[in-house]
């Protein structure tokens, strides 16, 4: 044991002690931050996308009311991003349990994994929501001009919504082995 109490030895003591700073924060803090980031950033992305799409949809439907019902699907694609975030954050918060005694390496792993998994889910859903919002706005206006363009720009929107799905998959892959206690 070195004099700071950490069970690892040092070669370059003054510099390597900086890297003990991640270990001075409780793994519950990391896990809770990751859970919060998952839901918060996902909802920010969904909200951003919905207002971008909704503004164009509302403006275009003034002149062309037939686009109203079909183009709600763009709004639903953005909302799905928020639903990914809330599902993942419920899954992550279910992994936190009380630990008796000190933290083991498995607890540190769980804390780091949930933090980075939540960051991944939230960040990918943020960019996906903005992308789907911009594409949905273009889809609404193009549909107002020529009805056959709706399906073609919807294909682009499906490519955009795949980004959020990648984040969800990797978030689940990172945290499968995360378990406290």
Partner 1 sequence: MDPTSQSYAVFFGLAGAASSLILSGAGAAYGTAKACRGIAKISTPNNDTQSFGKEYVELSKTGESNAQQSVGYKNMIPVVISGVLAIYGLIYSVIVSSSVVSPSYSTSQGYANFFGGLAVGFCCLVAGIAVGVCGEAGIVASARNSKMFTLMVLVLVYCEALGLYGLIFSLIANSLAF
Query: Using the rule CB under 8 A, which residue among 58, 68, 145, 147 binds partner 1?
Result: 145
- CB under 8 Å, gap of 24 or more: what pairs does 102-108 form? 103/26, 103/27, 106/179, 107/27, 107/180, 107/181, 108/23, 108/27
Residue 116: CB minimum distance to partner 1, A: 4
In this chain, which stretch among 70-78, 79-87, 88-96, 130-138 interacts with partner 1, using CB under 8 A?
Answer: 130-138
- Residue 47 makes contact with partner 1 by CB under 8 A: no
Rank residues 68 and 177 by Cβ distance to partner 1 and give the closer one. 177
d(CA 88, CA 117): 9
* Torsional class of 59: left (φ above 0), alpha (ψ -120 to 50), beta (otherwise): alpha
Q: Which H or E element spans position 168?
A: helix 149-175
Query: What are the C-alpha distances in Å from 21 to residues 8, 10, 41, 162?
Result: 13, 14, 26, 36
Residue 160: CB minimum distance to partner 1, A: 5
- Residue 65 makes contact with partner 1 by CB under 8 A: no
In this chain, which stretch among 71-79, 82-90, 94-102, 119-127 interacts with partner 1, using CB under 8 A?
Answer: 119-127
Rank residues 96 and 129 by Cβ distance to partner 1 and give the closer one. 129
d(CA 150, CA 142): 7
Fill in the DSSP letter of residue 2: -
Q: Which residues contact partner 1 (rule: CB under 8 A)?
A: 7-8, 19-20, 22-23, 104-106, 108-109, 112-113, 115-117, 119-120, 123-124, 127-128, 130-131, 134-135, 138-139, 141-142, 145-146, 148-149, 152-153, 155-157, 159-160, 162-163, 166-167, 169-170, 173-174, 177
């Amino acid at each position: 044991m070195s004099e700071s109490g950490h069970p690892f030895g040092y070669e370059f003591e003054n510099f390597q002690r900086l890297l003990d700073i991640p270990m001075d924060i409780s793994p519950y803090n990391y896990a809770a931050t990751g859970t919060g980031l998952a839901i918060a950033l996902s909802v920010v992305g969904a909200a951003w996308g919905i207002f971008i799409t909704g503004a164009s949809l509302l403006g275009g439907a003034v002149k062309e009311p037939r686009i109203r019902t079909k183009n709600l699907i763009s709004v639903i694609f953005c909302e799905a991003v928020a639903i990914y975030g809330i599902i993942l954050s419920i899954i992550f918060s279910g992994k936190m349990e009380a630990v008796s005694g000190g933290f083991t390496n498995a607890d540190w792993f769980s804390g780091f994994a949930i933090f980075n998994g939540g960051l991944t889910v939230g960040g990918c859903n943020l960019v996906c929501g903005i992308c789907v919002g911009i594409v949905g706005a273009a889809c609404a206006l193009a549909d107002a001009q020529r009805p056959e363009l709706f399906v073609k720009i919807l294909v682009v929107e499906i490519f955009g919504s795949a980004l959020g799905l990648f984040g969800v998959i990797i978030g689940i892959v990172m945290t499968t082995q995360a378990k406290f206690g």
